[in-house]
Amino acid sequence: MATAAETTPKTDFDAIVVGAGFSGMYMLYRLRDLGFSVRVFEAGDGVGGTWYWNRYPGARCDSESYYYCYSFSKELLDEWEWSERYPAQPEVLQYLNHVADRFHLRPDIQLNTRVVSAVFDDASGRWKVTTDDGKRYTATYFITAVGCLSTANLPHYEGLEEFQGTWYHTGQWRHEPVVFTGQRVGLIGTGASGIQATPEIAKQAAHLYVFQRTPNYATPSGNRPMRPEEIREIKAHYDEIWKKARESMGGFPFDSIEKSALEVSPEERRRIYEERWQQGSFRFLNSFSDLLVNKEANDTIAQFVRDKIHEIVKDPKVADLLSPTNHPYGTKRPPLNTGYYETFNRENVTLVDIRNAPIVRITPTGIQTTENTYELDSIVFATGFDAMTGTLLKIDIRGRNELTLKEKWADGPRTYLGLAIHGFPNMFTITGPGSPSVLSNMPVSIEQHVDWIADCLAYLRAQGIARIEATQHAEEIWVAHVNQVADQTLFPLANSWYIGANIPGKPRVFMPYVGGVGNYRKICDAVAAKHYEGFEMAQAIAI
């Protein structure tokens, strides 16, 4: 007969982790390996995070498959084979499901469960966590692994509820097949998602209207099937690949370039841009060392892209509209594409400028702008996310003395290293604001954060420390450093989601750390080596 302990579901853990994407699953793996009890709560009915939700047509990773994956297991690296240079969404999701099975993660992941609140209880020194089914749990550590782009941004348009067709958001795509054959489709948004979805929807739709507020610099991905010999070569050199990625600026295993765009002749510069344009990938942005810090250098690459757009797009007026001029290249995350600009040469595709003629309302049968009305069967919102803070702020998180995260971040996010927050003891934010996160190759940054947190928790246990909290002073210095580094770059010149500009009313604060993945790792390692400098710790009280 089962004992009471066996039949009563466990509710108290060493750590509660929110999210079962790349970061939550690796956090679980590391902590369980160290002997901690862990429960991961995941809102979706499957693992995969971003790759579970973003199922829109054309959804594909913009980092190359051989480094957009975990590095922690040699066996996993050896046995997994990517089929394409950039994996499509189903393949990344398949990979993450394989990881969940391969490392027996599923028993500790509770699906279909959204964390609604997490409150630090001063008296017990534990986090009290409530889920959307009303159940309560406690944990010594509360770790968020919610991703940086996980709360969809659905702009408020009057009339949407009366729209008689069907509408979709790229970041919350339906799981049943969506077919646009024969339909008039309106797509709003020309970020990475809109740029990937446009060519695919255009192939199906009777007519596609792309509603563009800001043109983007899309460069070719150069996607193709992986070749057996390159797979062998990559697998034989993984140690060097990861070393390079971890020490790099952006977490990508690219050679670092020392040359300024301005120290070569215009012909040589063009040759280099052309070569990298043909190669595809973010190597294009890596053409010269100063593209993100010197506007004059940046102008050269921006002009190169604009020239390419005019070469590809037949109608000069459309090419002009598609050519970005209001932000330097790379200061918004530069989308990679397959056939995006070519799509505007199709008869069944129309680019609609909503910068000069904004959307007024959604009508029952379409979209009305200040200039025109478009009759539509479907609307696709490719309007992005409430990035980096949106998902954290949706959870009612309260630290010491009932301080809410909303109050704490009323003027924008403040963290120490993007990992911890003053006032919120024993809480860690994987790829939180103030860390390289979205400005880097995510798996590399995720592994670094997870390893740092796992090592920290092992240290605390070994030292008998019950409570750890970032000091206000350390947090202030870090926030100032993040801003100072950003101000030395061109990033603040763009109205991007890096700065919260896409969400009306969101405080304008530059959120990612742009000082480089390699430098950042050194800083975090030094903090740990100095017995977690910048943190206050309290010993466990022996009873």
User: Where along the sequence are the contacts to ligand NA7 (CB under 6 A)?
Assistant: 149, 155, 170, 188-194, 213-214, 333, 354, 382-384, 497, 502
Task: Write down the least CB distance from residue 167 to ligand NA7, Å.
Answer: 14
Residue whose C-beta lies closest to ligand NA7: 191
- 38, two tokens: 């862990």
The rounded distance, in Å, linking the Cα atoms of 98 and 22 is 12
Amino acid at 152: A
Task: Write down the least CB distance from residue 414 to ligand NA7, Å.
Answer: 23
Residue 466 burial (10 A CB sphere; 0-12, 13-18, 19+): middle
Strand partners, 526: none
Task: Write down the least CB distance from residue 285 to ligand NA7, Å.
Answer: 13
User: What string of H, E and C letters represents the secondary structure of 60-84?
Assistant: ECCCCCCCCCCCCCHHHHHHCCCCE
Going from the C-alpha of 46 to that of each of 51, 109, 112, 328, 390, the distances in angstroms are 10, 10, 8, 38, 21
The residue behind tokens 């290249």 is: 329
Q: Is 142 helix (H, G, I), strand (E, B) or coil?
A: strand
Nearer to ligand NA7, 174 or 237 (CB): 174
Q: If phi over 0 gives left and psi between -120 and 50 gives alpha, with beta otherwise, what is residue 431?
A: left
Nearer to ligand NA7, 131 or 391 (CB): 391
Of the chain, the end-to-end C-alpha distance in Å amounts to 34
Nearer to ligand NA7, 323 or 502 (CB): 502
Task: Write down the least CB distance from residue 327 to ligand NA7, Å.
Answer: 9
The rounded distance, in Å, linking the Cα atoms of 276 and 296 is 20
Task: Write down the least CB distance from residue 351 to ligand NA7, Å.
Answer: 12
Instruction: State whether the Cα torsion 492-496-499-501 is positive or negative.
Output: positive
Nearer to ligand NA7, 37 or 214 (CB): 214
Task: Write down the least CB distance from residue 494 to ligand NA7, Å.
Answer: 9
Nearer to ligand NA7, 294 or 338 (CB): 338
Exposure string over 43-55, b if 16+ CB within 10 A, otherwise e: bbebbbbbbbbbb
Task: Write down the least CB distance from residue 201 to ligand NA7, Å.
Answer: 14
121 CB-side CA count, 13 A: 12
Nearer to ligand NA7, 228 or 504 (CB): 504
Nearer to ligand NA7, 105 or 210 (CB): 210
Task: Write down the least CB distance from residue 449 to ligand NA7, Å.
Answer: 18
User: Are 415 and 429 contacting, i.e. CB atoms less than 8 angstroms apart?
Assistant: yes
Nearer to ligand NA7, 82 or 282 (CB): 282
Closest CA to 517 of 288, 243, 328: 243
Nearer to ligand NA7, 261 or 380 (CB): 380
The residue behind tokens 């889920």 is: 131
Task: Write down the least CB distance from residue 337 to ligand NA7, Å.
Answer: 11
Nearer to ligand NA7, 155 or 339 (CB): 155
Task: Write down the least CB distance from residue 202 to ligand NA7, Å.
Answer: 17
The rounded distance, in Å, linking the Cα atoms of 114 and 120 is 18
E strand or H helix at 17, and its extent? strand 12-18
